[in-house]
């Protein structure tokens, strides 16, 4: 399934789930009305020596006012409960990770295990074109992982200590690739919405439990003619049962959806890594592990549909299992599996027991080379990164959105190897990360750069400014092909900034951009990219069509056409090539220097329906490759624009790759 179809299916499935939940709420209203009717009838029979549950008596206690009142009350409880949970989850995946007892891994950790999982996640993120998510470790011995968040900019990867310790690097790749599939295909957002909806239904059960606990301070059956206490007790029990019954059916829906998505994510992981034994052996190790994939966290049941493996014991029925049977998942990815869960060797056996902190990165690098082959560096004239990019490169990137493969992993490793070690280390530290972004905004012209530094010095924090002066010279020589991957690497560090620090960081960027009185296309792109991925830019509902956004498409494509050439005939040729992919004609826009207009245009284009975006991306690709060759700066701009439009795109590969 391609990226856009998966996104559209996830959006449609959200609508279906809302319908199913509405039906569940209606059932709750009906059952609650019946329970209250019985309670009212019993209270009306207090004067009788024997209660009478006749149909006629029940019907007399029922009224339209009662039904409306119960419906309003139940709806209010469910909606408010769901909204309350949604407000709790507004910070995205980190809320889930912290609720499960997770600890965010320090980006500059010296723990070899933690460094290894960070490296795997960074590779996967660069290979898939997404920002690098934060990684949390759960101090549990079981083998499990999860992805949580609403969008890529608030996504996190959670992984247990047992997973890191017991899996080899290939197996870790399979697990992480599985979780990236959930991020890319919209499953993650769907799962977060399910948490809020189910919590709203659960609130009724919690109210019933509160009512029951209140009875501890009241005498039940104070007199022969007073059975109000018993009625309240019964009402509380009924409400609790109603709430948990609603949750039961809600969990059935959640489990059914989750099981199907797990099969798809397993298949995507195999396609991503081109190594079925990676994820297959990880699943085998779950079956042979003493604790399997079960978590001890108190809130594991609430988030059970997020996990890589069955996080809680499924109880009496497979219907309630959030994941397919382990044997079924293994045989789908490894048909030749012998069917036995044999004891497996811990992943630690692949590593020296006396590994020091200083030699860990070097050992990791050699290990990666042994898997991926020789690593090429940009600018050396060898390998995919130094080869010529063509229209086929852009087409492959579009076709593999949401489903990158082994070639993109190899490219990601080459990119990480090509980045200077000092710069990679700095990207993981919040102060230095800001300095790296500032350095990307510095002009190549010495006079203008001096003017920018003077303007920045007046507002920047001293320690950040010192870091800029330290890394600036090296950053000015950075290969253009490494700029976008570096931005993806620094984002986790930038997300740790406080609100005040983030606002100050944005102010400093604006001062640098405005220092020369003009906003270049690269400056605008970098600024918008950071706003988008740091959650400071909303996208609104995805409900627009291309025909609704002709002016916006025209402006964006004109900017792309003029970014690669100055000749009017070449610009016209680029637009003509782009026009072939659109349902309307294009003409060059006279004024493309208004970056505010471009910002507004892109903001509207972000609201395109998922299945409308491929045509726009195809038009963008035609625009930059019409001459038969794509320059590195054009490829960078193409991918950055796609990212801003919420379309994470893998690196462009050469035809040979």
Write the secondary structure of 397-452 as one string of H (helix), E (strand) and C (coil). HHHCCCCCCHHHHHHHHHHHHHCCHHHHHHHCCHHHHHHHHHHHCCCCCHHHHHHH
The list of the chain residues with pLDDT below 70 reads 1-18, 20, 39-61, 204-241, 243-247, 249-250, 256, 314-320, 343-387, 536-540, 588-592, 655-657
Give me the residue spans of the domains in the chain: 3-90+191-249, 94-185+263-341, 368-387+405-527
- Catalytic annotation on 500? no
In the chain, what are the helix, strand and coil shares in percent, each to the nearest 5?
Answer: 65, 5, 30
pLDDT at 175: 96
Residue written as token pair 């998505």 = 261
Q: Among the options 123, 140, 179, 552, which is catalytic?
A: 179
CB 610 within 8 A of CB 645: no
Alpha helices in 458-567, H assignment, sequence order: 462-476, 483-495, 499-514, 521-533, 550-564
Q: How far is CA 26 from CA 206, 607, 649, in A?
A: 19, 33, 42
Query: Closest by alpha carbon to 633, among 510, 551, 515, 526?
Result: 526
In this prediction, what percent of the chain has a pLDDT beyond 70? 76
Angle (deg, nearest 10), helices 430-440 and 499-514: 20
pLDDT at 174: 94
CA–CA separation, 386 vs 635, rounded Å? Answer: 13
CA–CA separation, 63 vs 59, rounded Å? Answer: 8
Radius of gyration of the chain (CA): 29
pLDDT at 370: 34
CA–CA separation, 283 vs 159, rounded Å? Answer: 14
Q: Read off the pLDDT of residues 215-264 as tens digits, 9 standing for 90 and up.
A: 554 554 444 455 555 656 666 666 666 766 666 766 777 776 777 788 88
Query: Closest by alpha carbon to 246, among 117, 16, 81, 105?
Result: 81
Kindly report whether the global pTM for this prediction surpasses the value 0.75.
yes
Q: Read off the pLDDT of residues 171-204 as tens digits, 9 standing for 90 and up.
A: 999 999 999 999 988 888 888 888 887 787 777 6
Buried b (16+ CB within 10 A) or exposed e, 492-507: bbbbebeeebbebbbe
CA–CA separation, 294 vs 375, rounded Å? Answer: 39
Q: Which CATH architecture has domain 94-185+263-341?
A: 2-Layer Sandwich (3.30)
Do β-strands 134-138 and 103-104 pair in parallel, antiparallel, or remain unpaired?
antiparallel
Would you state the structure tokens that stand for residue 409, as one six-digit string? Answer: 């992993």
Would you state the structure tokens that stand for residue 45, as one six-digit string? Answer: 């029979």
Would you state the structure tokens that stand for residue 261, as one six-digit string? Answer: 């998505």
CB 415 within 8 A of CB 482: yes
């Amino acid at each position: 399934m391609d990226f856009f179809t998966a996104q559209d299916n996830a959006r449609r499935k959200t609508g279906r789930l809302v319908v199913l939940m509405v039906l569940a709420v209606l059932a709750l209203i009906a059952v609650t009305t019946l329970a209250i009717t019985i309670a009212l009838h019993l209270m009306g029979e207090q004067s009788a020596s024997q209660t009478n549950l006749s149909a006629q008596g029940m019907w007399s206690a029922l009224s339209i006012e009662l039904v409306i009142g119960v419906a309003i009350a139940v709806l209010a409880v469910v909606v408010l409960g769901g909204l309350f949970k949604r407000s709790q989850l507004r910070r995205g995946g980190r809320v889930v990770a912290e609720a499960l007892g997770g600890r965010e891994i320090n980006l500059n950790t010296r723990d070899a295990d933690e460094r290894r999982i960070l490296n795997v996640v960074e590779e996967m993120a660069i290979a898939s074109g997404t920002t690098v998510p934060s990684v949390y470790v759960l101090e549990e011995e079981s083998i499990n992982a999860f992805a949580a968040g609403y969008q890529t900019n608030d996504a996190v990867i959670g992984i247990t200590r047992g997973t890191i310790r017991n899996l080899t690097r290939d197996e870790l790749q399979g697990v992480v690739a599985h979780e990236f599939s959930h991020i890319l295909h919209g499953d993650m957002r769907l799962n977060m919405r399910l948490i809020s909806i189910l919590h709203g239904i659960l609130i009724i059960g919690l109210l019933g439990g509160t009512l029951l606990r209140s009875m501890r301070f009241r005498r039940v059956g104070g007199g022969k003619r007073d059975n109000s206490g018993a009625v309240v007790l019964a009402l509380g029990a009924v409400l609790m049962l109603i709430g948990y019954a609603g949750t039961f059916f809600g969990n059935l829906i959640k489990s059914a959806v989750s099981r199907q998505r797990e099969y798809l994510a397993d298949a995507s992981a195999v396609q991503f890594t081109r190594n079925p034994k990676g994820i297959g052996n990880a699943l085998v190790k779950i079956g042979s592990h003493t604790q399997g994939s079960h978590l001890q966290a108190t809130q594991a049941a609430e988030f059970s549909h997020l996990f890589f493996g069955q996080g809680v014991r499924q109880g009496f029925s497979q219907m309630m299992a959030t994941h397919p049977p382990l044997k079924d998942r293994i045989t789908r990815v490894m048909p030749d599996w012998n069917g036995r869960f044999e004891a497996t060797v811990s992943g630690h056996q692949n590593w020296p027991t006396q590994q020091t902190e200083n030699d860990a990165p070097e050992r990791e690098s050699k290990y990666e080379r042994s898997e991926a082959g020789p690593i090429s560096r940009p600018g050396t004239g060898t390998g995919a990164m130094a080869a010529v990019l063509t229209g086929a490169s852009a087409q492959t990137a579009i076709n593999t959105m949401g489903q990158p493969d082994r070639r993109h992993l190899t490219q990601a490793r080459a990119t990480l190897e090509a980045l200077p070690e000092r710069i990679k280390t700095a990207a993981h530290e919040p102060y230095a990360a800001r300095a790296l972004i500032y350095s990307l905004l510095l002009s190549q012209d010495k006079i203008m750069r001096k003017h920018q530094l003077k303007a920045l010095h007046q507002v920047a924090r001293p320690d950040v400014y010192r870091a800029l002066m330290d890394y600036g010279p090296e950053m000015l020589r950075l290969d253009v092909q490494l700029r976008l991957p570096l931005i993806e690497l620094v984002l986790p560090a930038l997300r740790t900034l406080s609100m005040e620090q983030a606002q100050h960081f944005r102010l400093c960027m604006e001062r640098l951009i405005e220092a020369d009185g003009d906003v270049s296309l690269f400056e605008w792109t970098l600024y918008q990219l950071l706003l988008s991925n740091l959650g400071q830019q909303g996208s609104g509902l995805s409900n627009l069509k291309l025909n609704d956004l002709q002016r916006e498409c025209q402006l964006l494509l004109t900017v792309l056409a003029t970014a690669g050439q100055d000749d009017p005939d070449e610009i016209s040729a680029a637009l003509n090539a782009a026009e072939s992919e659109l349902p309307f004609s294009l003409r060059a826009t006279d004024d493309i220097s208004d970056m505010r207009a471009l910002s507004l245009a892109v903001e509207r284009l972000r609201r395109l329906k998922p299945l409308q975006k491929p045509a726009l991306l195809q038009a963008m690709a035609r625009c930059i490759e019409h001459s038969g060759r794509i320059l590195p700066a054009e490829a960078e701009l193409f991918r950055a624009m796609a990212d801003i439009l919420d379309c994470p795109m893998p690196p462009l590969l050469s035809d040979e790759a």
